[in-house]
Structure 1
Amino acid sequence: MNEFGRLKRLAMRRPQEAMRNQAKVDAEWRDLNYHTRPDFDLAAREHDRFAEVIKSVGAEIVYLPEHDSLTMDSLYVRDAAAVCPKGVILCNMGKPARRGEPAIHGQAFEKAGIPVLGGITGEGSIEGGDLIWLDEKTVAIGRTYRTNDEGIRQFKNLVGADVHVEVSALPHYKGQSDVFHLMSIISPLDKDLQLVYSPLMPIPFREWLLAKGMNLVEVPDSEFASMGCNVLAIAPREVVMVKGNPETKKRMEAAGCKVHVIEADAISVPGEGGPTCLTRPLIRG
């Protein structure tokens, strides 16, 4: 159980099922706080190319279905579900417009034979972007505007007492309306290698990583806003990143990583959802 092993199975949702068409995009993008209006046809092409990179390591993609209740935010499948050694945990979304996603994911997972352990309910909220498994017994979780104390309490009960849950309270940054998850400032590259943006990282959490023997690749200030820190490991030290972050790419390569760069002007840039956000890894080798 980790975030860096070779991908064997993961979930994604294509723009055809999330955005559906340009008219839906045009109706939703402003209310969902996207920076710019995505181009639907370009999104479909970019997503297909991204999927081909993922398949290159032998991964099976489970494509999640469309539903009339979904917004185009459902393209970012990471946030609606988490995984643990016992199965999938359905999240309870902190963003009101996305509250219906976890149940739809749960139905799709059960249909695909993927075990669902349970879900976060009631006043508890958790989004998948706030969870990072370092190994089978260690998970870091961000306390953010999208993941609250009650959600963390329920998560701990689901994973069991033998799992160490390291809670890191993140800063206010841009406020409640912004998408700011733990994975906004850290992406695992290997068992002992993390890509980080230290200026927004809580000191105790950074010290905890270093005490565990982690080596840190630092994202430069100039590439944080362009999702330089949003990098998906598809195998140990083999990663996918968004185009436009050449210095971060260079630093990862210097640390021994093979880096795939994808065009993501429609699937990532408008909604600030990079390669990690677009995927829900289920099984890694």
Structure 2
Amino acid sequence: MFTRAITRRPGPEMVGGITTANLGKPDFELALRQHAVYCRTLADLGLDVTVLDAAPGFPDACFVEDTAVVCEHVAVLTPLGAPSRQGEQLTIEPELAKHKPVVRITPPALIEGGDVLQVGKIFYVGLSERTNRAGAQALADTVAPYGYETIIIACCPSLHFKTDVNFIGNNTILVSPCCDSLPELSRFQRVIVEDDEAYARNCLYINGTVIVPEGFPKTLAKVRATGVDTVVIDVSEFRKLDGGLTCLSLRF
């Protein structure tokens, strides 16, 4: 059960953030409104939500999930794989330190939280352009003393592992067609989200409810068919920066 979330308000520099989406520049004022709805939704689902101020100099800093991996026992600061984002993790450290012991992973190990899916006592880490094997192993070594297993996956060539794979409760994951056959995921019931609604693979599971991005009716129907409660919110401006629902918070 999650009880807390840390988020960061986007700043005006977000319009220059990293993107491959080709959907145009974000509308900053609309992004602020959407972020506020996102934070209220987390609060409505029972989380104590901390909203940090924007971090000047870091256009992508609203995507706080990439800066750390947080579990019951420890917060692991990640040395982000995107060069323009390195240093963001230091801006989140003081807040994390209020709640957990903090451990830093350092280069040449590279890892981003978007490549890490925690289900119970297992961390699934997908290798990507942002996460190398040294980074995945450094996380594994950090959390192993607390009883966590780490499974490192050479997965599909996406931005992040959670671009393709997300847990939605009831031993069920949303997956891309590419990831459906991964042997490391065979223990799960898998719901395939086709490429025409690829963005909606990044749903966010919070204590029995799945937050689903607006505009993806087929995925919404598939999620609801698993029996979980759902909430739909619009995050169109963050989609323009390759960012999804999980990216906008650290939950623990």
Task: Calculate the TM-score normalised by the size of structure 1.
Answer: 0.82
Asked if the contact 1:170/1:202 (under 8 Å) is kept, the reply is no
The residue aligned with 2:185 is 209
Q: Could you tell me how far apart the structure 2 residues matched to 1:86 and 1:51 are?
A: 24
The residue aligned with 1:8 is 3
Shift of 1:102: 0.6
Shift of 1:191: 4.4
The residue aligned with 2:227 is 256
Q: Could you tell me how far apart the structure 2 residues matched to 1:10 and 1:80 are?
A: 14
Q: Could you tell me how far apart the structure 2 residues matched to 1:241 and 1:188 are?
A: 12
The residue aligned with 1:241 is 212
Asked if the contact 2:169/2:228 (under 8 Å) is kept, the reply is no
Shift of 1:14: 1.2
Q: Could you tell me how far apart the structure 2 residues matched to 1:216 and 1:152 are?
A: 24
Closer, same or farther in 2 for the Cα pair 1:250/1:124, shift >3 Å?
same
The residue aligned with 1:151 is 135
Shift of 1:108: 2.4
Shift of 1:207: 2.7
Q: Could you tell me how far apart the structure 1 residues matched to 2:52 and 2:193 are?
A: 32
Q: Could you tell me how far apart the structure 1 residues matched to 2:185 and 2:180 are?
A: 11
In structure 2, stretches of 5+ residues that fail to align are none
Q: Could you tell me how far apart the structure 1 residues matched to 2:163 and 2:68 are?
A: 17
Asked if the contact 1:139/1:163 (under 8 Å) is kept, the reply is yes
| Aligned residue runs from structure 1 range 83-232, under 5 A | 83-110=70-97, 113-136=98-121, 138-160=122-144, 162-172=147-157, 180-197=159-176, 199-201=177-179, 203=181, 206-210=182-186, 212=187, 214-224=188-198, 227-232=199-204
SS of the aligned residue for 1:160 comes to: helix
Task: Calculate the TM-score normalised by the size of structure 2.
Answer: 0.92
Q: Could you tell me how far apart the structure 2 residues matched to 1:141 and 1:275 are?
A: 18
Asked if the contact 1:232/1:239 (under 8 Å) is kept, the reply is yes
SS of the aligned residue for 2:106 comes to: coil
Closer, same or farther in 2 for the Cα pair 1:246/1:42, shift >3 Å?
same
Shift of 1:163: 2.5
Shift of 1:151: 0.9
SS of the aligned residue for 1:277 comes to: helix
Amino acid at match of 2:134: E
Shift of 1:190: 1.0
Closer, same or farther in 2 for the Cα pair 1:163/1:38, shift >3 Å?
same
SS of the aligned residue for 1:200 comes to: coil
In structure 1, stretches of 5+ residues that fail to align are 174-179
Q: Could you tell me how far apart the structure 1 residues matched to 2:68 and 2:3 are?
A: 17
Q: Deviations over 1:89-142 (max 9, x none)?
A: 0000000111011111112222xx212330110201000011111112x11111
The residue aligned with 1:51 is 39
Q: Deviations over 1:189-219 (max 9, x none)?
A: 114111111x22173xx33322x3x211221
Asked if the contact 1:189/1:195 (under 8 Å) is kept, the reply is yes
Closer, same or farther in 2 for the Cα pair 1:255/1:191, shift >3 Å?
closer
* Percent identity of paired positions between Structure 1 and Structure 2: 26
